[in-house]
């Protein structure tokens, strides 16, 4: 985690994806005002901004990235920048009911169908395996 010198700015989450077998890749999750400033610009701007942040953290220049990609959850047509949460009075187990086969013809998968992992990518992954097993894939 990288903390901004400006205490009003959010923490920057940085992950080394090599741990997950993705090669030497750094992934930064930007939120709030930082995301607005960086995500709507070309990938080269985001890469330069991120390199500058890292250089400030380590105290010296960092190597230039080989490539950069910028995605925006807020602009994703299917996510719209949101994730599942239960409303007042709802029981989290209600989400599990969404993942049960419906009349033997349809089954849903996604983080929204897992009461313990809703809102997380591993919930989406686990329920996709559950659905694939149900349909016999």
Distance of CA 134 to the CA centre of its chain: 27
Using the CB atoms, write b or e for 91-111: b if 16+ within 10 Å.
Answer: eeeebeebbeeeeeeebebbb
**Sequential pLDDT tens for the chain (137 residues):** 888 887 877 788 888 888 778 778 888 888 777 777 787 788 888 899 899 999 999 999 999 888 888 887 777 777 666 667 777 888 888 999 999 999 988 999 998 999 888 888 888 899 999 999 998 86
Residue with tokens 């694939």: 132
Distance of CA 63 to the CA centre of its chain: 25
d(CA 4, CA 52) in angstroms, rounded, equals: 12
User: Quick one: CA torsion of 60, 20, 76, 44, rounded to 10 degrees?
Assistant: 30
Q: What is the pLDDT of residue 137?
A: 62
Q: Nearest to residue 112, comparing CAs of 135, 137, 133, 83?
A: 83
d(CA 98, CA 90) in angstroms, rounded, equals: 13
Q: What is the pLDDT of residue 72?
A: 77
Phi, psi for residue 62 in degrees, rounded to 5:
-110, 160
d(CA 93, CA 117) in angstroms, rounded, equals: 11
Q: What is the pLDDT of residue 55?
A: 94
Beta bridge partners, 102, equal: 106
Q: What is the pLDDT of residue 81?
A: 64
Q: What is the pLDDT of residue 61?
A: 95
């Amino acid at each position: 985690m990288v903390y901004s010198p400006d205490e009003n700015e959010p923490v920057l989450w940085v992950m080394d994806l090599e741990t997950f077998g993705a090669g030497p890749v750094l992934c930064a999750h930007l939120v709030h005002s930082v995301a607005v400033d960086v995500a709507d610009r070309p990938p080269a701007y985001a890469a330069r901004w991120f390199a500058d942040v890292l250089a400030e953290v380590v105290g010296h220049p960092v190597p230039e990235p080989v490539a950069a990609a910028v995605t925006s959850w807020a602009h994703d047509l299917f996510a719209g920048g949101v994730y599942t949460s239960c409303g007042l009075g709802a029981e989290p187990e209600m989400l599990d009911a969404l993942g049960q086969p419906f009349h033997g013809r349809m089954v849903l998968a996604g983080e929204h169908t897992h009461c313990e992992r809703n809102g997380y990518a591993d919930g989406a992954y686990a329920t996709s395996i559950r659905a694939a097993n149900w349909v016999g894939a």
